[in-house]
Structure 1
Amino acid sequence: MAELLNSILDFFSLETLDTRLYPPTNPVKKQQVINKANAKSKWNTLEFKVYIAIFAVTVPLMYKTAMDASNETNPNYPKFARLLSQGWLFGRKVDNSDQQYRFFRDNFPLLMGLIFLHYSIRRITTPLLHINKRTYFDFGFGLIFLFAAHGTNSLRILIFVLINYLISKFVPNYKLALGLTWFYGILTLFINDKMYNVPFGISFIDHGFKGIIERWDVFYNFTLLRMISFNADYIEKLTEAKDSSKDEEGKLTNSSSSLNLSTLDDRERLKAPLPISDYNVVNYLAYITYAPLFIAGPIVTFNDYIYQSNYQQLPSVKNYKRIFVYFARFLFCVLVMEFLLHFMYVVAVSKTKAWDGNTPFQMSMLGLFNLNIIWLKLLIPWRLFRFWSLLDGIDPPENMIRCMDNNYSALAFWRAWHRSYNRWIIRYIYVPLGGGGKYRILNSLLVFSFVAIWHDIELKLLMWGWLVVFFLLPEILATIYFQRFKEEWWFRHVCAVGAVLNIWMMMIANLFGFCLGKDGTVALLQEMFSTLRGFEFFVLSLIALFTGAQVMFELREAEKRKGIDVRC
């Protein structure tokens, strides 16, 4: 029994997802992490046995409440029934009303066929054509894939992409080139929002084959991140060359055989000592159109992509057993999503605002499971595309390393949610602006403003971005003040109280921005604080969240005892 439990825990562990989450290889650094943890586990204490008992009652009740608020037994069912379609589980209908996930779900067999085709063609053509650099294959296959995906709309993408390339190559002032890169990149988001389908006036382009995905602009945002990554990495390399001596500059422009390109770790690959000759149009287009990561990422920087492609493949992409286990984790998530879509029609309820007469508990569960479905609808494609990339020999960062419900810190939440995007933001925006120094709050406002605009050009999302920053302030200030008391017995409990407040603020911000909108969020808050049953729910929710926070703390302590500290 113990062996089975350990196997299950291993299957769902952080280490299964990404080798970047392993304990440090340096024994000194690993011991430093272990020393930060409480040496003694709390799982067998009376306190945590009570918490586990609360979990055993509360979690099934949460599922039941969400089902009661969104199933055919609810009086509001006729309002959203039209959005449901015939499912495949136990004769139930399925809520396939989310447009983003519907596209992925309906095209899943096609994507699996594409993965097999891409993998097979590379394995066959690489030895036959004596391709000595992987990027040559990626360049050719990527352009074909781009046309298959977007048809004649590929021309629109290539125009944006090549203008960006020309900025990096022909603007002589490096600071100006970087500034123009950002200005141009953000400008293209606004252009696409209003003019993504403006005709060229050329018949075969305007009325020709539009590809499997006609709405090319939906996925352009990820292309933009790669465009900026190439320019920023290239300009950084040029700046380094300019600041170095002539002798050192000569080394930079020499062939890669004279460079130190032995195995680099995750951070070192961001500034891999590549020759400047690698920043060419073939590698650029290979990176931009790299098929496994083209549609939605995860994001890998240009330097990291070229390093892994042409110089040093990582051990993680040669371990097929590990890749198989990762794929099994992916399939488990798909089945969880299918269960939710067949038994909880929360997306359809949210779309039709069919929550009249629901209790605050039901409203909150509609919002919570909506957020869980948003998390899953992003996680599932990202994991499939990352699996494809791992199978192909490129190891990008894992995007989701925590279950959405296993978060209590707003700061840590953003390190675990869309992790590769978060790392991209830190490298190309947050650190260049000064990071967490004197202007930390202003830098955070700029970061989340970009994040909101990048997601969609809507005032609602911009307000969401500013709300997130506003909700970061209490956590930052409380952390600074209470850090001095970390050795006190009550410190953990004060942190749990802070975590409860944090969770509520994060839920409100995300319910407003992505699930219930203004009407639903206001209705939930009014019901909670203007009725007796609402206030009772609020008090009970505080107890449940306090319990959850304590369990989350101990889960992280258990990781630290193994030498793992992912700071989220």
Structure 2
Amino acid sequence: MTEEIPLPSTSPMQSHHRSFSASDIKRNNYSITDLTVEIPSTTRSTSIPNENSRKQSRWGTLEFKFYYAVVLLVVPLMIWIPVSSSDASQLNYAKYHSRLSQGWIFGRAIDNSDAQYRSFRNNIPVLAVVGLALFLLKRAWLAVIRVPTNESHLIVYDVVASLLFLTGLHGSSVVKVLAILTLNFLVAKACRGAKVGPVVTWIFNIGILFLNDRYDGYRFGAIHPWLEFLDQEIYEGFYPRWYISFNITMLRLVSFNMDFYWACRKVGSVEVGQGASSLNERQRQTVAHPEAVYSFVNYIAYALYSPLYIAGPIITFNDFMWQFRRPSSIPLSYLMGYLFRFIACLLTMEFILHFMYVGAIKESRAWIGDTPAQISMIGFWNLMIVWLKLLLPWRFFRLWALTDGIDPPENMVRCMANNYSTFGFWRSWHRSYNLWIIRYIYIPLGGMKNVFLNSVLVFTFVALWHDLTFKLLAWGWLVSLFILPEMLGRYLLPSSRYGSAPWYRHVCALGAVFNVMLMMTANLVGFVIGTDGIQFFFSQLFGTWGGLQCLVGVIFCLFVGVQIMFEYREEEIRKGIYRRC
């Protein structure tokens, strides 16, 4: 079997697309940058530094040896504080111990109180069995029919497999999903390349999100009394609340309609050579197909594709179909390495949940009497749990897609604790969603012509798309507001003018510390403790002497951390790895 997959080059100075073989994974000289998640380089070619401008390594300098000493002292303390705060001897333990469950590590209880992550964690065995069954079934299908690997027969198989998967998942509600998909398809075909098409598409899909939420997925009995029997539990399926995860499906519906709209207007229609290596990841998104490819069968196969249906990552219709029309094999060694990374992340999450009950503390507001340092670590580790609880499903479902021959964009290409830029954080966190936002919202609205206004509109949509609540709307507006200091700093102190000055790196680090604190505030409001919780946190941090001492320590530690983040990115550049995050 040919063990090759076309993946983009790590350096934009090389070819935009190259053949990535299993032997490429084996390196004789290991580097710290081997930890960098491999994605296509995202720095514009005009901003690539030349060999002479690359900075000398600072890893061995006296300054960084001091930073290492700080890290060796502070990181264990950051672990010990939440672990000790979770001990049964603590006064607040009684307020949240009922939220804990029986664990499996050293006889300890586990904090499995987060409903979103619990639904994934508890069903990993079921999802793995289903994924394996569909994988084996597809291999059997290919062995029996013995035809060349082209898109036609595989698309039909995926439609059938997806409908079976969806029926088991949503039961009788699969009819509702198919009805919405059909209406959206009719909107696309009716509008074709008309200028009103995007407007109708957006009104329809946003309206569907509001109606889904308003009517809780539309009970059959409310549609007609004769259909009430379909609301019975026996017909509900494994996950009857289909409308909760429909937000992801809605992105695919918009993608199909907009890609078809641009194809009708001949936007992105260019001649491409034969072979998968002629298209890189970005081209697979933007290069249009012949209009015949935008068929109902292909649309259903894309919108309901089993591995990515529940949570993504998000892939555009154009990209999805190019990977069927130009299929490529993925090396087994790459898949095994990806599986190892997933297991390592899963075990990390398990140890955190077994030793740090910060989620249960947060849900119970069981922090009265805690020191500012304890409260700050409760917030920090809750953010780390949010990062992991999203990373794990995305890694799992992407692995499932990779085993099926589809390579969707990678999400979360930086660790939560390795971000200092608001723009970079957004690009790296939900990367596939960010690519979708750029293609279907940001660029159509004008892109860089009005960054702040477009950012407000984008993050308002993002917040409402996640959940129709004030808490997330506040998060969206806070993120939009918090990009202003970074924009101002870049304008007043551009790297092109001051980058060579000895003080520049340290001033940037101070600005980055401020950025990190703003980002943590926004995400604590949106995804952890809400507006009420952040008010209490600030009252302890700024309203007490101990809080002010803690704040000074936090600023110092973040300054050290940011300096290491800066140097890590410089090391990536020295290795030919370019990121905009």
TM over 0.5: yes
Q: Is the 8 A contact 1:34 1:561 kept in 2?
A: no
Corresponding residue for residue 231 of structure 1: 257
Corresponding residue for residue 12 of structure 1: 35
Query: Match for 1:324: what amino acid?
Result: M
Written as runs of structure 1 = structure 2, the 5 A alignment for 1:517-556 is 517-556=530-569
Q: Is the 8 A contact 1:23 1:562 kept in 2?
A: no
Q: Is the 8 A contact 2:463 2:475 kept in 1?
A: yes
Written as runs of structure 1 = structure 2, the 5 A alignment for 1:176-195 is 176-195=196-215
Distance between the aligned counterparts of 1:115 and 1:433, measured in 2?
39
Distance between the aligned counterparts of 2:129 and 2:192, measured in 1?
45
Distance between the aligned counterparts of 2:56 and 2:367, measured in 1?
46
Shift of 1:4: 11
Corresponding residue for residue 508 of structure 1: 521
Moved more, 29-38 or 109-118: 29-38
Distance between the aligned counterparts of 1:22 and 1:454, measured in 2?
26
1:305 aligns with 2:320: yes
Moved more, 34-43 or 201-210: 34-43
Distance between the aligned counterparts of 1:23 and 1:123, measured in 2?
39
Shift of 1:401: 0.5
1:296 aligns with 2:319: no
Corresponding residue for residue 419 of structure 2: 407
Query: Match for 1:224: what amino acid?
Result: M
Higher helix fraction: Structure 1 or Structure 2?
1
1:113 aligns with 2:133: no
Query: Match for 2:290: what amino acid?
Result: P
Distance between the aligned counterparts of 1:129 and 1:155, measured in 2?
30
Distance between the aligned counterparts of 2:200 and 2:115, measured in 1?
34
Corresponding residue for residue 206 of structure 1: 231
Written as runs of structure 1 = structure 2, the 5 A alignment for 1:134-283 is 134-171=154-191, 174-201=194-221, 202-207=227-232, 208-240=234-266, 263-283=278-298
Q: Is the 8 A contact 2:421 2:512 kept in 1?
A: yes
Distance between the aligned counterparts of 1:11 and 1:446, measured in 2?
37
1:352 aligns with 2:332: no
Q: Give the TM-score normalised by structure 2.
A: 0.89
Q: Is the 8 A contact 2:42 2:578 kept in 1?
A: no
Q: 1:481 aligns with which of 469, 492, 500?
A: 492
**Identity fraction in percent:** 44
Q: 2:571 aligns with which of 558, 563, 567?
A: 558
Distance between the aligned counterparts of 1:432 and 1:410, measured in 2?
22
Query: Match for 1:286: what amino acid?
Result: A
Query: Match for 1:229: what amino acid?
Result: S
Q: Is the 8 A contact 1:151 1:212 kept in 2?
A: yes
- The structure-2 alpha-carbon separation of the partners of 1:388 and 1:470, relative to structure 1 and needing over 3 Å to count, comes to same
Shift of 1:13: 2.8
1:96 aligns with 2:96: no
Query: Match for 1:265: what amino acid?
Result: N
Corresponding residue for residue 67 of structure 2: 51
- The structure-2 alpha-carbon separation of the partners of 1:30 and 1:389, relative to structure 1 and needing over 3 Å to count, comes to farther
Distance between the aligned counterparts of 1:321 and 1:528, measured in 2?
49
- The structure-2 alpha-carbon separation of the partners of 1:410 and 1:94, relative to structure 1 and needing over 3 Å to count, comes to same
1:324 aligns with 2:336: yes
Which deviations, in whole Å up to 9, do the C-alpha atoms of 1:200-221 show, x marking residues without a partner? 2303422251111111112101
Corresponding residue for residue 14 of structure 2: none
Moved more, 32-41 or 70-79: 32-41
Query: Match for 1:124: what amino acid?
Result: A
Distance between the aligned counterparts of 1:10 and 1:543, measured in 2?
25
Moved more, 170-179 or 347-356: 170-179
Distance between the aligned counterparts of 1:274 and 1:426, measured in 2?
20
Which deviations, in whole Å up to 9, do the C-alpha atoms of 1:139-173 show, x marking residues without a partner? 11111111111111111111111111000001356
The number of aligned residues is: 544
1:443 aligns with 2:461: no
Shift of 1:326: 1.0
Secondary structure of the structure 2 residue equivalent to 1:347: helix
- The structure-2 alpha-carbon separation of the partners of 1:199 and 1:4, relative to structure 1 and needing over 3 Å to count, comes to closer
Query: Match for 1:136: what amino acid?
Result: V
Moved more, 122-131 or 100-109: 122-131
Corresponding residue for residue 336 of structure 1: 348
Query: Match for 1:386: what amino acid?
Result: R
Which deviations, in whole Å up to 9, do the C-alpha atoms of 1:52-77 show, x marking residues without a partner? 10000001101111122333232100
Q: Is the 8 A contact 1:222 1:297 kept in 2?
A: yes
Corresponding residue for residue 390 of structure 1: 402
Moved more, 67-76 or 463-472: 67-76
Distance between the aligned counterparts of 1:302 and 1:172, measured in 2?
16
Secondary structure of the structure 2 residue equivalent to 1:550: helix
Which 5+ residue runs of structure 1 have no aligned equivalent?
none
- RMSD over equivalenced CA pairs, Å: 2.4
Secondary structure of the structure 2 residue equivalent to 1:175: coil
Corresponding residue for residue 10 of structure 2: none
Distance between the aligned counterparts of 1:476 and 1:226, measured in 2?
32
Query: Match for 2:304: what amino acid?
Result: T
Q: Give the TM-score normalised by structure 1.
A: 0.91
Distance between the aligned counterparts of 2:487 and 2:371, measured in 1?
34
Q: 2:299 aligns with which of 262, 281, 284?
A: 284
Distance between the aligned counterparts of 1:496 and 1:240, measured in 2?
46
Moved more, 185-194 or 64-73: 64-73
- The structure-2 alpha-carbon separation of the partners of 1:188 and 1:455, relative to structure 1 and needing over 3 Å to count, comes to same
- The structure-2 alpha-carbon separation of the partners of 1:217 and 1:345, relative to structure 1 and needing over 3 Å to count, comes to same
Moved more, 335-344 or 508-517: 508-517
- The structure-2 alpha-carbon separation of the partners of 1:229 and 1:565, relative to structure 1 and needing over 3 Å to count, comes to same
Distance between the aligned counterparts of 1:263 and 1:522, measured in 2?
53
- The structure-2 alpha-carbon separation of the partners of 1:557 and 1:36, relative to structure 1 and needing over 3 Å to count, comes to farther
Shift of 1:9: 4.0
Distance between the aligned counterparts of 1:266 and 1:172, measured in 2?
26
- The structure-2 alpha-carbon separation of the partners of 1:69 and 1:481, relative to structure 1 and needing over 3 Å to count, comes to same
Shift of 1:535: 0.6
Query: Match for 1:182: what amino acid?
Result: W
Distance between the aligned counterparts of 2:43 and 2:129, measured in 1?
36
Shift of 1:567: 0.7
Which deviations, in whole Å up to 9, do the C-alpha atoms of 1:415-459 show, x marking residues without a partner? 00010001100010001101111x211111110011001100001
Distance between the aligned counterparts of 1:8 and 1:325, measured in 2?
17
Query: Match for 1:223: what amino acid?
Result: T
Which 5+ residue runs of structure 2 have no aligned equivalent?
1-25, 222-226
Secondary structure of the structure 1 residue equivalent to 2:239: coil
Distance between the aligned counterparts of 1:22 and 1:172, measured in 2?
32
Query: Match for 1:180: what amino acid?
Result: V
Which deviations, in whole Å up to 9, do the C-alpha atoms of 1:297-317 show, x marking residues without a partner? 0011000000001x2124xx4
Distance between the aligned counterparts of 1:21 and 1:291, measured in 2?
28
Q: Is the 8 A contact 1:34 1:563 kept in 2?
A: no
Query: Match for 1:209: what amino acid?
Result: Y
Secondary structure of the structure 2 residue equivalent to 1:141: helix
Q: Is the 8 A contact 1:142 1:289 kept in 2?
A: yes
Written as runs of structure 1 = structure 2, the 5 A alignment for 1:354-373 is 354-373=366-385
